[in-house]
Amino acid sequence: MDLGALGVYTCLFMGLYFEVFLLISFFEKRPSKKSDAVPRRFPTVSIIVPCYNEERTIAATVQSLLALEYPKKKLDIVVVDDGSTDGTRTIAERFAKKYPQVRYFYKENGGKYTALNFGIEASHGDIVGCLDADSFVAQDALVESVKYLEQDPSIMALTPVMNVYRPRNLLEHMQAVEYIFGVFFKKMFDNLASISVLPGPFSLYRREVFRRVGIFRRAHNTEDMEIAFRMHAHGLKIANAHTAYVHTTVPKTLRTLLTQRARWSQGYLQNSMDYKYMYGNPRFGHFGTFTLPFGLAAFAAGLYIAGYVLYNVVATLWTRAFTLWATGIPLHFPSLSIEWFFINTSMMLFLTVAIFFMTMTAIILGARIAGVRLHAKSLAIYFMLFGFVAPLWLSRAVWNTARVRESVWR
């Protein structure tokens, strides 16, 4: 076996191990179903909506917050405009005038984390939430989240279930399945008490979190990831509210998708360096011994396999083209034999098929948790596209990290 293939087998082993580990976690503690119970008391909640040039979606975002099934007096909506130059201000001010629950603040542009910190200072709710201005919450999302906080006082922060809002083009369909896959991951990481990111769309914090660990930091433009790392470093519990749904819009073009994902991936690498002492450290539980090392390994494995496949495809095409040129044989399709003898039955193929089925299982379980229907079209697009697109942002993130170049938001 050549070294290249040995590397692929190592990646396949890690991939399988990772999925097996998560599936064991699933069967160990299956997610509960949504209940009709209501919280005994409703804590005051402040939802911060940081925005920058979001005139297309800000109205729908605020509307979805106003439609939340939650006592109006207990809900405070804080729109923090991070220096928008489009019509965001006009729209948000209209809401603030019409609805006393909505407060609007305009500040100089300083980055998302500054808008969030501004909102934390300007708000007073026991629970602080944030909602990106391109996302919309389900009506019962807040009540569902509050139930988790009430049931387990040790939970310090919560993440919801995120779905893609009305996917239309190929990339959106691909991301729709990816997000469903993510639902499974998020719940399993919850079982392992090792959720590694508190995403912008409707993550909630107890206010004391900021007292204990501090406010948001710039954190390589991934403040939602860094604060999760920091909370783990301080032994604070993060959970997943799998019955609280939020819908989010996703990048529609390859360029914006790559920019967004390269930022996330680069943030993961750079935050990993900042928190390297947590890697493999059992003091931080599964987060230190499983989530962080496997996250980095998955990063490397994704790049390695993509490089291996690319090298082999290019080498094969080059050899074929050179052979045709050197031999003078006219271009023709090789005769395809349908005999069983010539079917590829390599060990690598069997293992790839095993990974495929386990991935499918995780996606199906994720769809069940998220309560969404899986479409064959989206699945086909995901399996055809993801392997080509993901290595692009991974390699861009590595390149930018190596050059010590800051990621960009858009």
Partner 1 sequence: MKDWSKYILAFIITAAMFLTAFYLTNTINNARLADIRSVQEQIAIDLLSSETQFELLGNLDCSIIAQNPILSEELNSLAERLSFAENNLNPKNSDVERLKKQYALLEIKDYLLMEQISKKCGTKPVSVLYFYSNQGDCADCSRAGDVLTYLRQEYPSLRVYSFDYNLDLGALQTLISLRKVKADLPAFIINNRAPVYGFKNLDEMQTLIPELKDLATSTVETKL
Where along the sequence are the contacts to partner 1 (CB under 8 A)?
13, 16-17, 20-21, 24-25, 28, 285-286, 289-290, 323, 326-329, 332, 335, 337, 341-342, 344-347, 350-351, 354
Q: Kindly tell me which of 356 and 399 has the beta carbon lying closer to partner 1.
A: 356
Residues 6+ apart with CB under 8 A from 13: none
Q: Are 209 and 157 in contact (CB under 8 A)?
A: yes
How far apart are the C-alpha atoms of 16 and 21, rounded to whole Å?
8
**Least distance (Å) from partner 1 to the CB of residue 189?**
14
CB of 1 to partner 1, least distance (A): 9
CB of 93 to partner 1, least distance (A): 52
Q: Which is nearer to partner 1, 73 or 320 (CB)?
A: 320
Angle at 282 between CA 280 and CA 284, to 5 degrees: 95
Distance CA 90, CA 58 (A): 11
- CB environment 322-360: b (16+ within 10 A), e (fewer): eeeeeeeeeeeeeeeeeeeeeeeeeeeeebeeebeebbe
Strand partners of residue 205: 128, 157
Least separation in angstroms between CB 358 and partner 1: 9
Q: Residue 108 contacts by C-beta under 8 Å, 6 or more apart in sequence?
A: 83
Q: Closer to partner 1 at the Cβ: 288 or 391?
A: 288
378's tokens: 């989206």
Closer to partner 1 by CB, 331 or 376: give it: 331
CB of 362 to partner 1, least distance (A): 14
Crossing angle of helices 170-191 and 376-402, rounded to 10°: 80
* Burial class of residue 186, CB neighbours in 10 A (0-12, 13-18, 19+): buried
Q: Minimum distance between the CB of residue 23 and partner 1, rounded to whole angstroms?
A: 9
Nearer Cβ to partner 1 (350/399): 350
Write down the least CB distance from residue 365 to partner 1, Å.
17
> Closest CB to partner 1 among 22 and 269?
22
SS (HEC) of 317-330: HHHHHHHHHHHCCC
Nearest CB to partner 1, comparing residues 139 and 323: 323
Residue entry with tokens 């939970």: 155
